[in-house]
Amino acid sequence: MLPLILLLLLINIFSTSESSNRVSTALRTQRKKPFAAIVFSESNYNTPFNKNPCFWLSRLKFQSKLCWRQRGLPDVLLTARNLSIISCQNQFQYDQWNCSKRDFFFKKIYRETAFMHSMAAAALTFSIARACSEGTLAGCQCGEHGKPSNSSKWQWGGCSDNIKFAKKFTRRFLQLRKKDDGNYQNAIVKYNSEVGIRIVIENVQVVCKCHGLSGSCSLKVCYKKIQAFDYVSKQLKGLYHAAIYVEHENHIRPYKSGKMGQKLVFLENSPSFCPTTVDRRCNNTENCATLCCGRGFYTTQVHEINKCMCRWRKEMFNVECKYCRENKTIFRCK
């Protein structure tokens, strides 16, 4: 009887140990999720942040610690997160993939995965640079101006977006400079994130404001500002469509090549989105032909009331509009 009891105890211990190992492995796998996967996670999107604004980063040990340490950073990270999701949804609202089923695409590196990694990095870079110039993030200030002006008609002034700090911070936050562990998927993730940062840097422009008596603009004060994020997200969408498929066995050279530095890279072909476009709204007949996968579309007429005939009322310091009824045609896929 005693040997039987001992045997049962050993089996129980072995089973418990095996189960514990599986749980431990699963937890380690969860922790290894990249930042973009957490940003675009559909399960996290409606999480309340009023009590713990860094809670959504709890699976990312390094990023979660940084979130808590720097005053103003939790709000900046949430801004970047919301900017990523809303921009993705806006850019792809009339595409076969409409930025839905996002969690699925982080199982491998699809074209959509590459886009989301670059979008998350771009949104973070943009949000950090803008927060520095607005004074809402501790540890940074206005960005540097360009070379001194020799002109008497304009000069550097104001507060520029701090793109230099934003680039450095984003690379540190995403651990893009961390020593490569030999995993080619991680290398591709880092590469696509760098593309997102680069697109933001390329969208820095010089903005000038006039100064002088009676609006004469005798002197312009200029500073550097990143263009609206809509411009950035449009360019990233263009890179999504132009993304390059890379064979697994040829992963080392392509993403380090100078020519590839302008492209997004993916490793797996995307599944068909046609089954998901039934009853989806399309923009016009040309767009419907693509979005509806050849199934055809139907139209409905709706009446909308929108602002119209708007004019500036100088004496009231506001814009005054009328409301007009419009007949609008709505296109939907069959």
3-state secondary structure at position 13: helix
Q: Hey, is 251 helix, strand or coil?
A: coil
Q: Average pLDDT in the 2-18 region?
A: 51
Residue 22 pLDDT more than 50? no
Domain boundaries along the sequence of the chain: 30-271, 278-334
pLDDT at 8: 55
Q: Which helix or strand (DSSP H or E) is residue 167 part of?
A: helix 163-173
Alpha-carbon gap, residue 318 to 313, rounded angstroms: 6
Question: Does 248 score more than 80 pLDDT?
Answer: no
Going by pLDDT thresholds of 50, 70 and 90, the confidence category of residue 24 is very low
CA distance 272 to 281: 18
Residue 316, pLDDT score: 62
How far is the C-alpha of 332 from the C-alpha of 285, rounded, in Å? 10
Could you tell me the pLDDT band of residue 243, with boundaries at 50, 70 and 90? very high
Least confident range from 66-70, 85-89, 150-154, 274-278: namely 150-154
Highest mean pLDDT: which range of 36-45, 108-117, 171-180, 304-313: 108-117
- Counting residues of the chain whose pLDDT is more than 90, the rounded percentage is 57
What kind of fold does domain 278-334 have according to CATH? Answer: Endo-n-acetylneuraminidase fold (3.30.2460)
- Of residues 189 and 259, more confidence is placed in 189
Q: Which residues pair with 323 in a beta bridge?
A: 307
Strands (E) in the chain, as ranges, are 154-156, 204-211, 219-226, 244-245, 265-266, 281-282, 297-313, 318-333
Sheet of 281-282: strand order equals 281-282, 318-333, 297-313
Greatest Cα-to-Cα distance within the chain, rounded to the nearest angstrom: 104
pLDDT, tens digit, 9 for 90 and up, residues 277-293: 999 999 999 999 999 99
Average pLDDT, the chain: 84
**Are the C-beta atoms of 137 and 125 separated by less than 8 Å?**
no
Does residue 51 surpass a pLDDT of 90?
A: no
pLDDT surpassing 80 at residue 26: no
What is the reported pLDDT for 48? 56
Mean pLDDT score, 69-92: 94
Residues of 93-112 as b/e, b for ≥16 C-beta within 10 angstroms? ebbbbbbeebeebbeebbbb
pLDDT of residue 45: 60
Residues 105-160 pLDDT 10s: 999 999 999 999 999 999 999 999 999 999 999 999 998 887 776 666 778 888 99
221 half-sphere exposure, CB direction, 13 A CA radius:
7
What average pLDDT does this structure show over 59-83?
Answer: 93
Q: pLDDT value at position 272?
A: 94
